[in-house]
Amino acid sequence: MWINYLDQALLLAALAVSVNLLVGYAGQVSVAHAAFAGVGGYAVCFLAGEHGWPYLASLVVAVLVATAFGVVIGLIALGLAQEFLILMTLAFSLGIIGVFATFDSLGGVMGLTGVDGLRLFGFELDGPSDWLIPSAVVLVLVFAVCHRLGESPYGRVLKGIREDTVATRALGKNTFGRKVGIFAITSGLTGLIGGVYSGWLGQATPSAFGFPLAMAVFAMVIVGGNANLVGSIVAGVVLTMIEPVLREVLGVQSTQAALWQVVLYGALLVLVMIVRPQGLFPERSKRVAPPGTGAKATPRSPSAGAPYADAEVVLRADGLSKRFGGITAAKDLALELRRGTITALVGPNGAGKTTAFNLLTGTVVPDTGSVRLNGAELVGMRPDLIVRAGLVRTFQDVRLLDRLTCLENVMLAVPDQPGERLGRLFVPGRAVSRADRAVAAQAMEWLDFVGMADHAGTPADALSYGQSKLVSLARALATRADVLLLDEPASGVDATWVETMLSMVAAVREEGRTVCLVEHNLDVVRELADHTYFMELGEITASGTLAELTGSARLAEAYFGAQ
Ligand SMILES: Nc1ncnc2c1ncn2[C@@H]1O[C@H](COP(=O)(O)OP(=O)(O)OP(=O)(O)O)[C@@H](O)[C@H]1O
């Protein structure tokens, strides 16, 4: 009898592991995954139970159908904000369970029952002990897949999405594609688990895969610890065993025991969220590679030091306009950025400087106009592709990924990592881990470049504001983009860090990259900028050297006089 409970515990632990990959790593909360397990369960009972298909073939179909559900629902729901995603997946889950309960061919509210005589690789799956090995194999398989995905460069991108999707996309990662991908993969895994679960149960019923199962799995994920798969296994087994222990050890009646289990789930959830919100087994951070190992990250030729007027135009924007309702945030903007130079964008609050950055980087789509980078049109391109084309930006409010270390923040930005591709992750061999060590070494070099190597293992949320701005510069540099748009790199930073930041930005120019910065601190602009554009009310109304601009009586009165 205890073996029967153990079968169930192993399968629910597997479910918790796969849901943890989606919720704990990628931060996408789905209520539909219990229903996807139901899709797998019904596929098996329908095909193997009702139509005599071989069990293994029906399991394959279970995985494929559940994955297809995941792709379709993911495409619909994952563009939405988190709260809508939860509601949307809840709606889909209710819809799927409703379909199960409605169709006579699926057994209506009673479900498909009496499934037996299943065989796998020649073995008959009759009693609980026959299901022990398949259940354990499923858990090991699901754990292996989820661990490979979660604890790899692929998983780093998932964590980036969880922490800040916009910032992760601004580092050149296809966040929507990744979200749909991980939603589909975890759907397929839950389909497999559901197929084995229904085989073990001998039935697939609407109630077996409904909201209570979804909640039980969430409890396992949260109690075990977000983004900790071992925690999910421990919590999965322990929480599943509550009911049998109540029943068999403490002699509680079976209906009472089921009720107490739900109450204990709830109490445990509340307790964990108050006392230990990170769960019993907290997320682990990437170990820090020793500085100075691996390839040098800055193999660039220094700037030839050409005067601004002679420098080649790398980026040219023309006629860029954007209206937000009644506000004209950008009006017919035209600007040029020249190779190996620093251009500043200055102007009063609300002039449209950040909007200009948003338009250049595709974060906001312009109403009209064009942006050409080395001759290639950027308008209409996805923001992550724009980064890969060579144009990266930082944010006024920094947007580091708080729960990731400084090293992980910078590693995430390194482009073309083999471990971010599914096709490479599951190829045997050590190529991915070797490549990841090289990525870590590169990231260390960039942290070293901005003077933050000693903080490689520090979580980003433990940094001072000035330090976090330096790490965000290292992160932008690690993308290897040629053109950097820095949004207020020195604002809000205390005097000691301003000096450091100034020398960093100047060093970036020295290595031949092109910089455009938005900055209110005119000392910084005076020190760094080769050319300055002045913006007011969404328009560029003057340009030249800062000395020329401050020499204008009108601008001195409108803006510079107040500085
Ligand atoms: N997504 C948006 N929706 C509506 N209005 C917006 C949006 N983004 C910017 N705006 C408006 O566009 C105008 C320009 O804003 P923007 O943030 O670009 O100015 P800024 O020059 O960067 O200001 P600051 O120096 O204070 O950062 C403001 O009036 C702002 O309220």
| Ligand 1 lined by 365 (C-beta under 6 Å) | no
Assess whether pLDDT exceeds 90 at residue 511: no
Pocket probe for ligand 1: among 321, 324, 331, 398, the residue whose CB has the most ligand atoms within 8 Å is: 324
Please, what is the Cα angle at 294 between 288 and 297, to 5 degrees? 95
Looking from the CA of residue 329, the nearest atom of ligand 1 is 12
Q: Is the pTM of this model over 0.95?
A: no
Interval 86-121: pLDDT, tens: 999 999 999 999 999 999 999 999 999 988 888 899
Whether the CB of 324 sits within 6 Å of ligand 1:
yes
Residue 327, ligand 1, Cβ within 6 A: yes
pLDDT band at 550; cut points 50, 70, 90: confident
Strand order in the sheet with 531-536: 391-393, 483-487, 514-518, 342-346, 531-536, 539-544
206 lines ligand 1 (CB under 6 A): no
Ligand 1 in reach of 350 Cβ (< 6 A):
yes
| Ligand 1 pocket mutation, candidates 321, 354, 393, 525, criterion most atoms within 8 A of CB | 354
Does the Cβ of 349 fall within 6 Å of ligand 1?
yes
User: Of residues 347 and 491, which shows the higher confidence score?
Assistant: 347
**Reduced 3-state DSSP string for 100-146:** HHHCHHHCHHHCECCCCCCEECCEECCCHHHHHHHHHHHHHHHHHHH
Q: Which domains does the chain have, with CATH numbers?
A: 2-208 (no CATH), 308-562 (3.40.50.300)
Q: DSSP for 290-312?
A: PTT-SS-S---PPP----GGGSP
pLDDT at 290 over 70: no
Cβ of 351 below 6 Å from ligand 1: yes
Ligand 1 mean position, distance from CA 164 (Å): 20
Backbone dihedral region for residue 35 (phi beyond 0: left; psi -120 to 50: alpha; all else: beta): alpha
- For residue 470, report the distance from its CA to the centre of ligand 1, in Å: 24
Q: Band the pLDDT of 474: cuts 50, 70, 90.
A: very high
**Residue 517, amino acid:** L
Quick one: pLDDT band at residue 456, thresholds 50, 70, 90?
Answer: very high
With bands split at pLDDT 50, 70 and 90, how would you rate the model's confidence at 7? very high
Tens-digit pLDDT profile for residues 250-266: 999 988 998 898 888 88
388 lines ligand 1 (CB under 6 A): no
Q: Is the CB of 329 under 6 A from ligand 1?
A: yes
Sign of the Cα pseudo-torsion (214, 215, 218, 220, in order): negative
97 with 38: CB under 8 angstroms? Answer: yes
β 531-536/539-544 pair status:
antiparallel
Distance 537 CA to ligand 1 centre (A): 10
Has the ipTM of the complex gone over 0.90?
Answer: yes
